[in-house]
Amino acid sequence: MASKKDPNKTENPDAEIELDEADVKEEEEPQQEDPCAALEKELAAAKEAHIRTLAEYDNYRKRTTREKEALYGDAKAAALSELLPVLDNFERALGTQDADAEALKKGMEMIFTGFQETLKKLGVEAFGEPGDKFDPNIHNAVMHLEDDAFGENEIAAVFSKGYKLGDRILRPAMVQVAN
């Protein structure tokens, strides 16, 4: 009787052990990934991060532009709402028909005082008084005067006051400078 051989078994027991060791070695060592594929994955991740950063920046830019426009509008509205009472006072003064010259003068002085207070509340300061030293950064000399009664570069007359908001000059003072 012929013995049947198992096709999976080999006749040499040592060979069987070698195959098992080879199988174990293949399982232990992970197959190395293609270096190009790894770099492509890294490049794709970097591209995605870059695109996300660009989108975030674009959203930030649009948001800050909208906020700036809204802030400008709010500041403008706040300043103008402070001026409306002055306009109301002018309207009332023009509406009086029975007033004499003295009453009109007193009304105009009250409006002027109210307007100055409103400007002060908004942070606006007036400058340019006779006797001040001339500063070309904040004064506009429109006339020159030779007079020994005034000092060198002293303001002799003010034609229109200057106004500033903090350090920002809103309008330079138009003055006459002596000597």
Residue 9: phi and psi, rounded to 5, are: -95, 145
Average pLDDT over residues 144-157: 90
The model's pLDDT over 63-79, given as tens digits with 9 standing for 90+, comes to 999 999 999 999 999 99
Rounded Cα gap, residues 3 and 25, in angstroms? 34
Average pLDDT over residues 84-99: 88
Mapping DSSP to helix (H, G, I), strand (E, B) and coil, where does residue 24 land? Answer: helix
Is residue 40 included in any domain, yes or no? yes
Is pLDDT at 172 greater than 70 in this prediction?
Answer: yes
Is residue 172 included in any domain, yes or no? yes
Q: Which of 108, 105, 124, 106 is nearest to 116 (CA)?
A: 124
Question: Inter-axis angle of helices 35-95 and 101-121, to 10 degrees?
Answer: 160
Same domain, 68 and 115: yes
Same domain, 137 and 88: no
Same domain, 102 and 135: no
- Percentage of the residues of the chain whose pLDDT score is greater than 70: 82
Residues in a beta bridge with 162: 127
Same domain, 117 and 41: yes
The total domain count for the chain is: 2
Supply the pLDDT for residue 95.
85
Is residue 48 included in any domain, yes or no? yes
Supply the pLDDT for residue 12.
53
The model's pLDDT over 97-133, given as tens digits with 9 standing for 90+, comes to 888 889 888 989 999 999 999 999 999 999 999 999 9
Residue type at position 116: Q
Domain-terminating residue out of 79, 98, 122? 122
Supply the pLDDT for residue 11.
56
Mapping DSSP to helix (H, G, I), strand (E, B) and coil, where does residue 160 land? Answer: strand
Mapping DSSP to helix (H, G, I), strand (E, B) and coil, where does residue 165 land? Answer: strand
Mean pLDDT of the chain, nearest integer: 85
Domain-terminating residue out of 77, 103, 122? 122
Rounded Cα gap, residues 169 and 176, in angstroms? 19
Supply the pLDDT for residue 30.
56
Is residue 4 included in any domain, yes or no? no
CATH of the domain at 177: 2.30.22.10
Global pTM reads: 0.60
Mapping DSSP to helix (H, G, I), strand (E, B) and coil, where does residue 159 land? Answer: strand
Q: How far is CA 6 from CA 10, 44, 67, in A?
A: 8, 52, 83
Expressed as residue numbers, the domain containing 164 is 124-179
Structure confidence at residue 94 as a pLDDT band (50, 70, 90): confident
Same domain, 117 and 53: yes
